């Protein structure tokens, strides 16, 4: 599996799209220096939020451009024949591609976090009074959970990648899952209130409850606001959300591997 | 080394009403160790499907496929496309390391592989800069870098210029001399005829002929004697165990060229008139065209 992980890593780091996204994210991170001046009251919080959003957005863009095409390209250009004629099983292929992607994201997140930290160090030294509640650990905590979110999202991309050979359909399904996953807790909150119970048919409410258990709760990994206030989550919460992301990804990848094992590669 | 028995494969037809199309029908053959075997046939005959079945890319509906345990395999796909962001060295390393080759052994093996395909100068270059022929040769290098026991090449000559084709021909020839087992598909019949110990001719998903080298050599050394058609002549030739083929007005008798005088004496003794004597000049190409034209008995083979 290692050869596949390293080849996937090389694919990621040699991709021109990745560099485009990097440049964009770095541009946005540096833009926070200018933008911070517009918000003199909450400058520190805005800067943190701006930097975290840039990293998160870069993660989503890399997923949409690089990850979505990863398996589709192998199937479309028949590179898969070359790979699977080596002693690489289909299960190893799915895991190898996924873990290779994670190494690309790890590289991207480390780089972007490093740059954003430098920007924050500069802003902190320039506007000392506005970073009273700033906490480096809280900042890194938000980046860490964003990485966990990307981990889950990419397992979903791999899952749809083995089902469909079209990267567009994969993107469509992934975006739909992401949107539902981002808003599902709000919807659940709505139907649990009196107004929601009145306006929704019981069948619809039930369907939403089922979806809640299938689609990952992406909002749970959003720690930007907490981080902007310099707050840290408890160790148990930290462990719970980490475990949730890992277990969800493993289940989705096992399903993907099961499907891919049966896939006809004619 | 490979045993294929009664392989059947159907696929769904893309039609309004669901139906299935048979793409492999009762395909059976054996690939013996150290032999070079080629599968030939028209496009859509089922050659690539057989190879993909052997490699496990597709599951047959019925039949069995056995590959000797512990066989290391090198495969060149048809129209290969590799990760073009890799250099040739990285591609070879991917191939070699997935077969468990150690880093310390790699430089020597990589050098040997690229030398065989004439790409020594390209090791550090990215695959995206390669032409179609170079990509094909890079694919062959990736297939042989780990020194496999069995090589499966799907159209290895495709996309190559005459020099490249000769190089692949020499390469397969060299691998054969080193005792490697090679199974390959090709449309270049003259090369197949010169290289192979056995030739499988597929048509419409079926194995129509399985020829050995002896069959081909014999076919080339045969002479065709035409005699008038009659039940009595047919009876005499059958009793004497001659190989013949019945046409509407005559019988064609196939004999080895060095036995021609002996046969003519026999016919004279039996008072069978000879209409014509001609070299049959049966080439693989002729056999192939007969099979494709669905002639049941091609040249007595």
Contact pairs from chain A to chain B, CB under 8 Å: 64
Buried b vs exposed e over A199-211: b needs ≥16 C-beta within 10 Å? ebeeeebeebeee
**Smallest Cβ distance to A3: which of B58, B97, B139?**
B97
**Smallest Cβ distance to A10: which of B11, B73, B85?**
B85
**Smallest Cβ distance to A3: which of B49, B85, B94?**
B94
**Smallest Cβ distance to B95: which of A86, A264, A265?**
A86
Q: What pLDDT was estimated at residue A51?
A: 87
Residue segments in chain A with a per-residue pLDDT below the cut of 70:
40, 194-198
Nearest CA in chain B to A15: B85
Domains parsed from chain B with CATH numbers: 2-212 (3.40.50.300), 221-292 (3.30.70.980)
- Cβ count within 10 A of residue B237: 19
Distance from CA of B166 to the nearest CA of A (A): 24
A225 vs A231: CA distance, rounded Å: 9
Buried b vs exposed e over B287-301: b needs ≥16 C-beta within 10 Å? bbebbbeeeeebbbb
**Smallest Cβ distance to A82: which of B56, B77, B93?**
B77
Q: How far is CA B144 from CA B47, B162, B183, in A?
A: 22, 22, 14
DSSP conformation letters of chain A? -HHHHHHHHHHHHT-HHHHHHHHHHHHHHHHHHHHHTT-SSSHHHHHHHHHHHHHHHHHHHHIIIIIHHHHHHHHHTTHHHHHHTSS--HHHHHHHHHHHHHHHHHHHHHHHHHHHHHHHHHHHHH-GGGGTT--HHHHHHHHHHHHHHHHHHHHHHHHHHHH-S-HHHHHHHHHHHHHHHHHHHHHHHHHHSHHHHHHS-HHHHHHHHHHHHHS--GGGG--HHHHHTT----HHHHHHHHHHHHHHHHHHHHHHHHHHHH----
Interface of A to B at Cβ within 8 Å reads 2-4, 6-7, 10-11, 14-15, 77-79, 81-82, 84-88, 264-266
How many domains does chain A contain in total?
A: 1
Distance from CA of B94 to the nearest CA of A (A): 6
- Which residues of chain A neighbour B75 with C-beta distances below 8 Å? 81-82, 85
Strand arrangement, sheet containing B250-256: B243-246, B250-256, B222-228, B276-279
- Which residues of chain A neighbour B57 with C-beta distances below 8 Å? 81, 84, 264-266
Q: What pLDDT was estimated at residue A124?
A: 82
Write out the residue range of the structural domain in which residue A37 sits: 2-262
A221 vs A178: CA distance, rounded Å: 12
Note every long-range contact of B229-237, with CB atoms under 8 Å and residues 24 or more positions apart, other chains counting.
B233/B272, B236/B270, B236/B272
Rounded to the nearest 5 degrees, what angle is found at the Cα of A88, between the Cα atoms of A86 and A89?
Answer: 130
A255 vs A170: CA distance, rounded Å: 16
Distance from CA of A146 to the nearest CA of B (A): 29
A198 vs B46: CA distance, rounded Å: 62
Subunit contact A88:B98, Cβ cutoff 8 A: yes
Q: What pLDDT was estimated at residue B301?
A: 42
Burial (Cβ within 10 Å: 0-12, 13-18, ≥19) of residue A128: exposed
**Smallest Cβ distance to A78: which of B81, B83, B90?**
B81
CA contacts within 13 A on the Cβ side of B252:
15
Distance from CA of A170 to the nearest CA of B (A): 21
Distance between start and end Cα atoms, chain B? 26
Nearest CA in chain A to B75: A85
Do the bridges between strand B62-67 and strand B2-12 make them parallel or antiparallel, or are there none, so unpaired?
antiparallel
A146, A112 in Cβ contact below 8 A? no
Q: What pLDDT was estimated at residue B15?
A: 67
In the numeric block, which tokens belong to residue B119?
């790409």
DSSP conformation letters of B257-287? GGGHHHHHHHHHHTTPPP-EEEE----HHHH
pLDDT in tens, chain B (301 residues): 889 999 898 888 766 667 788 888 889 998 888 889 999 888 888 888 999 999 888 888 999 998 888 888 899 888 788 888 899 999 999 999 988 888 899 999 999 999 888 888 888 899 889 888 888 889 999 999 998 989 999 888 877 788 888 888 888 888 888 888 999 888 878 778 888 888 898 888 888 888 887 777 766 677 888 999 888 888 998 898 888 888 888 888 888 877 888 899 999 998 899 888 877 666 777 778 877 776 544 444 4
Q: What pLDDT was estimated at residue B16?
A: 67
Subunit contact A78:B52, Cβ cutoff 8 A: no
Subunit contact B83:A79, Cβ cutoff 8 A: yes
ipTM over 0.85: no
Q: How far is CA B111 from CA A103, B75, B106, B108, B146, in A?
A: 30, 19, 8, 5, 12
């Amino acid at each position: 599996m290692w050869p596949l992980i390293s080849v996937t890593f090389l694919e990621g780091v040699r991709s021109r799209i990745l560099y485009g996204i990097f440049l964009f994210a770095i541009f946005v991170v540096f833009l926070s220096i200018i933008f911070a001046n517009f918000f003199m009251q909450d400058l520190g919080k805005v800067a943190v939020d701006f930097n975290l959003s840039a990293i998160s957005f870069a993660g989503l863009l890399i997923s949409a451009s690089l990850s979505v095409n990863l398996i589709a390209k192998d199937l479309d250009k028949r590179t898969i024949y070359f790979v699977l004629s080596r002693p690489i099983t289909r299960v190893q292929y799915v895991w190898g591609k996924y873990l290779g992607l994670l190494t690309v994201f790890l590289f991207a997140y480390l780089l972007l976090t490093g740059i954003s930290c430098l920007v924050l160090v500069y802003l902190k030294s320039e506007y000392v009074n506005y970073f009273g509640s700033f906490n480096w650990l809280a900042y890194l905590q938000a980046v860490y959970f964003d990485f966990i979110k990307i981990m889950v999202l990419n397992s979903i991309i791999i899952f749809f990648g083995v089902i469909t050979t079209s990267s567009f359909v994969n993107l469509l399904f992934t975006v739909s899952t992401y949107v539902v996953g981002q808003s599902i807790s709000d919807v659940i909150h709505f139907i649990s209130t009196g107004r929601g119970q009145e306006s929704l048919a019981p069948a619809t409410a039930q369907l939403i409850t089922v979806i809640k258990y299938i689609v990952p709760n992406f909002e749970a990994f959003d720690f930007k606001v907490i981080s902007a206030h310099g707050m840290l989550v408890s160790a148990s919460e930290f462990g719970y959300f980490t475990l949730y992301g890992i277990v969800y990804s493993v289940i989705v990848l096992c399903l993907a591997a099961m499907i891919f094992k049966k896939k006809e590669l004619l | 080394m490979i045993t294929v028995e009664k392989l059947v494969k159907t696929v769904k037809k893309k039609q309004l009403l669901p139906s299935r199309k048979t793409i492999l029908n009762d395909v059976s053959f054996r690939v013996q160790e150290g032999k070079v075997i080629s599968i030939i046939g028209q496009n859509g005959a089922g050659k690539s499907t057989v190879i993909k079945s052997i490699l496990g890319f597709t599951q047959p509906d019925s039949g069995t496929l056995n590959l000797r345990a512990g066989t290391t395999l090198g495969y060149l796909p048809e129209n290969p496309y590799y990760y073009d962001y890799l250099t040739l060295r990285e591609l070879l390393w991917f191939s070699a390391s997935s077969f468990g080759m150690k880093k310390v052994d790699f430089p020597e093996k990589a050098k040997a592989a690229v030398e065989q395909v004439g790409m020594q100068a390209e090791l550090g270059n990215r695959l995206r800069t390669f032409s179609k022929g170079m990509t094909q040769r890079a694919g062959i290098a990736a297939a042989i870098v780990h020194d496999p026991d069995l090589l499966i090449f799907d159209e290895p000559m495709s996309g190559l210029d005459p020099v490249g084709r000769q190089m692949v021909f020499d390469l397969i020839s060299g691998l054969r001399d080193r005792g490697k087992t090679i199974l390959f598909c090709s449309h270049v019949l003259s090369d197949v005829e010169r290289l192979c110990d056995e030739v499988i001719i597929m048509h419409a998903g079926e194995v129509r002929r399985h020829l050995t080298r002896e069959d081909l050599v014999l076919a080339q050394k045969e002479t065709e004697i035409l005699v008038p058609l009659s039940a009595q002549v047919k009876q005499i030739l059958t009793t004497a165990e001659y190989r013949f083929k019945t046409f509407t007005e005559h019988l064609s008798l196939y004999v080895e060229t060095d036995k021609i005088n002996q046969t003519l004496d026999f016919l004279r003794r039996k008072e069978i008139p000879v209409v014509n004597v001609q070299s049959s000049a049966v080439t693989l190409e002729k056999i192939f065209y007969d099979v494709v034209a669905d002639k049941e008995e091609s040249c007595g083979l």
